[in-house]
Structure 1
Amino acid sequence: MNAPSCPTQTRLYEDGKLIAEGFPADQVPEKLEAHPRAVLWLDLDDPGMADLEAIAEPFQLHPLAIEDAVQDHEAPKLQRYPGHLFLNVYAMDIADGNLLRLTKHEISAFVTERALITVRKSPSDTESFVQRWDADAALIAAGGVSFLLYGLLDVVVDSQFAAALRLDGAMDAVEDALLEEGAAPRPVRLRGIALRKLVAAVRRPVAPMPDLVGQAMRINGNSVDERVEPYYRDVEDHARHTVDEVEHLRDRIEGVLQADLAEQGNALNDTTRKLAAWAAVIAVPTALTGYFGQNLPYPGYQTEWGWVVSTLVIAGCAFGLYLYLRKRGWL
């Protein structure tokens, strides 16, 4: 086996104990041969096609799976090939701050009878995987590679749930601002729209996870060990909870934005009503002066007291209309 040129990490477990780590990737075949009961974790950091082809022959990896592992932005999925599984998942992280920023870490994995081979397409921390495996290392003796796969899926689902919780906290502030009396300021509205886009970006890789975890419980057509199966069920339950949380967030932000849109409509109607009322108030003097501006005599025509009377009539009619409209709540 040729050594990949990309950075690698290796760990070898036997009977629930870590017996070797950090050895070169080209020593993998001889390590597995020397320890028939051992299982392997091999991690490749942003490999190219040549790096994956170097390990393809010893592990009998399918060319289509290798192609998917090299390409970026593949959809979350689990596919079965002769002798191994291929899956693609996304771990997530949302940075706190004035503007939330979502970072997705795409991880592909080949699952063979004795090895879990992970392919990380962007910089990410593998320490969480290792800690999860070492916390229950005794179960590796029972579950073998299936327990290594469980640890990977558990960390991924936990990161997705943590991202959903951060979105939920951020939505509280946006919701309070959007639902204040009157239409929300434009910056607040834009933040709500950005939050809706963020929820949609989280939903795409989260939605397939419950079914993916359920399918992963059968490796190479065989069910996982009954001692490991409850752990998979727990991850599946967490995945469904995460999907429900994201769906709730999507409905919630849509409802808040729709409520703000309705409030904008109410504010616009109120402004239009006020403009119409003021137009009516101004129209009264205009109509009266236009009428008395005819070249026809009227009581007090060409007299000082007639001018005073007409002025009082104009002002009285306009003020009376103002009081009426104000009583109706139009002004």
Structure 2
Amino acid sequence: MLVEQGFALEDLSEHLARDGSLVWVDVCEPDGAVLAVLADELGLDPHAVEDAVSAGERPKATRHARHTFLTVYATRLEAPGRDPTDPTSRLRLTRISAFVLPRGVITVRRSADFDMDPVFERWNEDPELLRLGVGALVHGLLDTVVDGHFEAIQQLDDAIEGIEDLLFDERGQMHAVQVRTYRLRKELVELRRVVLPMRDVVNAVLRHRGELDQRHAELDGFYDDLYDHVLRAAEWTESLRDMVTTVFETNLSLQDARLNTVMKKLTGWAAIIAVPTAVTGWFGQNIPYPGFGRPWGVLFSAGIIAAVGITLFGVFRRKGWI
């Protein structure tokens, strides 16, 4: 049950000191002064405070003297509507850091791209679960982030299926396939960097849970399910990477096959076109030839051209060259 909200940060330590309290503080795009107040009020580790605002931190979970520090990344893929030939990555990452205390969680977001309302709604779905302490808050946050990973992975999976349809398009949209494949490879690389380390994050949370929520057995099943989702997300990204590699190699193979088909057709027609050139060149020499000086000589040379040309056309047609 919500007892109080909107209190001053200076009163945070007082709320955390109350027996049975459970506190959540969300700080979005904080400046140094806000984090300094929190660090002084709660005795936060300076290295963790620095990591919360530094750029380029990888997903991790670190245990400090008074708290556990988490860094995870929420993901989303921009909605369709952009130029399909634009190679710019559509994946958007939002870093979320959390200071996990024995009776509360302080989340720090670098931007407002990640909406905390779904997390809050998940916590409110089962008020009884919140009686189990801060472990329930951490689970709700991580579970929402991992669900976002699944949504982004599903969208990339659908995009790969769309590329597979283009591969065998008779119109041969090779450029579109190349651009989309390159963009997907870039997005998958970015996604793997934030999805794969989540296994270590959840493992670290599981190891330190006893220090946070007295290891409530009721939460074991929730965290086991969360860890299973993290493993599935990691395995799914690995399989998508293999699929993209296969699509790329298949596209190259199809290009070679199409080139061979074109070369066969060009070779066949070049052979047919060479026949009249050879015949007229021979009959055009300054020496007597069959039918020289007679009207039927023209018909004879034309008959040779037609007969040889039709024969070659039939042979190449039967072989599938033209």
3-state SS of paired residue (2:3): strand
State the 1:224 CA deviation.
3.2
Task: State percent identity of aligned pairs.
Answer: 39
Residue in 1 that maps onto 2:151:
162
1:147 corresponds to 2:136: yes
1:176 corresponds to 2:157: no
1:87 corresponds to 2:70: yes
TM-score (norm 1): 0.85
3-state SS of paired residue (1:282): helix
State the 1:115 CA deviation.
2.6
Q: Quick one: distance in 1 between partners of 2:168 and 2:189?
A: 22
Residue in 1 that maps onto 2:8:
24
3-state SS of paired residue (1:267): helix
Query: Which stretches in structure 2 are left out of the alignment for 5+ residues?
Result: 85-89
Residue in 2 that maps onto 1:98:
81
What amino acid does structure 2 have at the position aligned with 1:24?
A: A
State the 1:302 CA deviation.
2.8
What amino acid does structure 2 have at the position aligned with 1:29?
A: S
1:265 corresponds to 2:249: no
3-state SS of paired residue (1:256): helix
Contact 1:178–1:257 (CA<8 Å) still a contact in 2?
A: no
3-state SS of paired residue (1:38): coil
Q: Quick one: distance in 1 between partners of 2:57 and 2:233?
A: 21
Select between 175-184 and 59-68 the one with higher mean Cα deviation: 175-184
State the 1:70 CA deviation.
0.7
Q: Quick one: distance in 1 between partners of 2:206 and 2:111?
A: 27
1:285 corresponds to 2:276: yes
Aligned length: 313
Q: Quick one: distance in 1 between partners of 2:98 and 2:195?
A: 17
Deviations 1:148-183 (A, max 9, x none): 111111111111112222333343333323333462
Contact 1:61–1:84 (CA<8 Å) still a contact in 2?
A: yes
Contact 1:179–1:259 (CA<8 Å) still a contact in 2?
A: no
Q: Quick one: distance in 1 between partners of 2:209 and 2:49?
A: 18
* 1:218/1:210 CA distance change after superposition, 3 Å: same
Contact 2:275–2:305 (CA<8 Å) still a contact in 1?
A: yes
3-state SS of paired residue (2:246): helix
The root-mean-square deviation of aligned C-alpha atoms, in Å, is 2.4
Select between 289-298 and 313-322 the one with higher mean Cα deviation: 289-298
State the 1:237 CA deviation.
0.6
Contact 1:179–1:260 (CA<8 Å) still a contact in 2?
A: no
Select between 194-203 and 73-82 the one with higher mean Cα deviation: 194-203
Select between 49-58 and 130-139 the one with higher mean Cα deviation: 130-139
For CA contacts below 8 A with separation 6 or more, give which structure has more relative contact order.
2
Higher helix share: 2
Higher strand share: 1
State the 1:208 CA deviation.
1.3
TM-score (norm 2): 0.87
What amino acid does structure 2 have at the position aligned with 1:258?
A: E
Work out which of the residue numbers 26, 29, 42 in structure 2 matches 1:46: 29
3-state SS of paired residue (2:138): helix
